[in-house]
Amino acid sequence: MAQGKIVQCIGAVVDVEFPRDQLPKVYDALKLEGTALTLEVQQQLGDGVVRTIALGSSDGIKRGLVVSNTGNPITVPTGKATLGRIMDVLGNPIDERGPVDHAQSASIHRKAPAYDELSPSQDLLETGIKVIDLICPFAKGGKVGLFGGAGVGKTVNMMELINNIAKAHSGLSVFAGVGERTREGNDFYHEMAESGVVNLEKLEDSKVSMVYGQMNEPPGNRLRVALTGLTIAESFRDEGRDVLFFVDNIYRYTLAGTEVSALLGRMPSAVGYQPTLAEEMGRLQERITSTKVGSITSIQAVYVPAD
């Protein structure tokens, strides 16, 4: 396992120097020795130096600390072990219910399915909310955006959808909380537990997996937490299931990308957004698709800013 040392730290951006013949690849996960902090490689600067984003608090980091290269991208637990659990961007449990089984795990950076694997669907997804089913029915395996300003009920709508679909169709859901309020995440969990969607007595019988990267966390966490949730949803789809993937809020994903881009010193585009916005969003959305094995239906809350 190649080792390097920190040569510069500016907030969430950490530069690490490695021997030139052992340079980490872009998106490799690096571990800071003696801590639980993970760094993700974003750029290779030359002369053996890589620029990374800290997926956690960078408090206490100083030059000269030893960093190890894991040689792989961030991997998170997937499958039934994640049901009923709340995890962070790295797949660590944050619900104080013990460790999550890593018997089944996958990298958060994966390619989208090839064209010949895709399966168009013309089935409708019955949500149980009559006004939606009548006026604006959802297509199974499609994507739906819930657009609105602050405090108009996007999250409440999502909670109702998960509740209805889990009870009526016994379907599995994955909820990714991207840059939203911790209070809302807490309310969501307790409401799911009260309604039986999260089975606290027998977690593997739960119908939802939850991944949280809330607004108080560093930008690297908020940027990657949507990919963590999507990786779990993909694992259920590849088992032949029909999965619902909820993202609350996809705009905060864009905002986290803007912060990371600015920290990395990239030239901003219009309104300060990152120049790689279309590519980052496209890479995420291309993976949210249905194959001949199973389907992912995605419902994403979209906060509409005033800019």
Residues assigned a catalytic role: 154, 180-181
Distance CA 105, CA 94 (A): 18
Give dist(CA 212, CA 176) in Å, integer.
6
CA nearest to 299, candidates 153, 193, 164, 144: 144
Residues 70, 29 contacting (CB under 8 angstroms): yes
Distance from C-alpha of 183 to C-alpha of 261, rounded to nearest angstrom: 28
Residue 244 main-chain phi, psi, to 5 deg: -105, 130
- Residue 226 neighbours by CB under 8 Å, 6+ apart: 176, 178, 247, 250, 253, 284
46, 42, 51: which is closest to 7 by C-alpha? 51
